[in-house]
Amino acid sequence: MVSNRSRYAVGGTAAKASSRLALVAAIGLGGLVASAGANAQSETTDQPRGSTLCTKLPVPCDAVIAHRGASFQAPESTTPAYRLARELGADYLELDLQRTKDGELIAFHDNALGRNTDVAKVFPDRADAPVSAFTLAELKQLDAGSWFNETYPERARDSYVGLDILTLDEVIDIAEGGDNRPGLYIETKVPEQFPGIESDLRAALEARGWAGDSTTTSEPAAEGAVDVADGPGRVIMQTFSRQSLAELETSLPDVPRVLLLWLGEGGIDAAPSDPQGDTESVADYYARQTVASPEAYAEWIDFAKSHGAVGIGPSTVQQDHDGTFSSQFSYSDLAEPWMIGMAHDEGLLIHPYTVDEPVDFERYRERGVDGFFTNRPAALLEFYGRGAGDPSTILNDLGY
């Protein structure tokens, strides 16, 4: 396939080509220090500040993507986190896909189990082993909830003790289990550790009517409720891996796909910078990193486009990133205005991760993003004017 930069010329859209070249030149002046000038250009030329792409794709506009569920209020990737997100009215339940030793697909973020289970107590000799070294039966012995109570006592609940790690089927059951019918936003996690996981996922989704020629087999959403799972955008795939994006293009060609963006090793080339200071937080260190060049960013945009992606998922900087929780989710800003303009010009949606506060919702919405990954779907729904209800009350009503 002809690259996107070349396509401007061969396609005859010289004005668009000139716009992008001018943008790259403007950003390049002073080695990205002049990005403010490029930002101003995006506001005074045809660089988009918003997007109507969601009206042309099977993806909700202003998408609310519940990152590992409603994971600010409940332990990530567990039943209460996903049920709360569903009841609040999130468009998508987000999950990280891994495969157990005996071939079962599960929802779990970390490569290892130590941060958010009691693996050191249950399997002390294997505490540092990867998730893939355990069978599903072994993983089901672990407590995936108590860590949350210990880390965030102000949001602790007795019912979180002893929560299970969930299978993909169990997350689908939750998505299908209420009046609202959210879709699934699935990341192939460290796919190089799980050869063929894309094909396994296709088989699992088809068996449940979530991919292929069939449609979901359960009852449709209630009138006026979230109905993403009833439409063609019921599943979105996401990955940081170029190889996995290519595999997904083959395995799930009809499922929308998003390329996640990261700065540094394994991702977009970063500009040289000073090492992390002795007293500098990880979040502060990430916040001052910048891309090596506009061309380095464009390379990933072009790869996404040439492999059939409908969007990108860039990292963001949170204005307040010093808290115990917020510091985990603030990275480098790969959703600057010129970057969003570049992606929108290529017809790509932008779903940045992971944004939790109204001040950041507003900042990135002004730049033109098309939705957010968030740990706080209630806050994002309220920001979008979609009343969500009180999370604590909903958790009580759900029996937690």
pLDDT along the chain (400 residues), means of 10: 31 42 48 38 43 82 97 98 98 98 98 98 98 98 98 98 98 97 96 94 96 70 92 96 96 96 96 96 96 98 97 96 93 97 96 97 97 98 93 98
What structural domains and CATH numbers belong to the chain? 4-44 (no CATH), 53-256+348-397 (3.20.20.190)
pTM above 0.85, yes or no: yes
Cβ 354 vs Cβ 345: under 8 Å: no
Give residue 7's pLDDT.
Answer: 27
Kind of pairing between the strands at 311-314 and 257-261: parallel
Which candidate in 109, 321, 344, 351 is catalytic?
Answer: 109
Q: How far apart are CA 39 and CA 366, in angstroms?
A: 12
Angle (CA) 342-53-26 rounded to 5° is 15
Give residue 215's pLDDT.
Answer: 58
Give residue 58's pLDDT.
Answer: 87
HEC sequence for 242-287: HHHHHHHHHHCCCCCEEEEECECCCCECECCCCCCCCCCCHHHHHH
307 belongs to the catalytic site: no
Q: Please write the tens of the pLDDT for every residue from 235-270.
A: 999 999 999 999 999 999 999 999 999 999 999 999
109 belongs to the catalytic site: yes
Share of the chain above pLDDT 70, in %: 86
Give residue 71's pLDDT.
Answer: 98
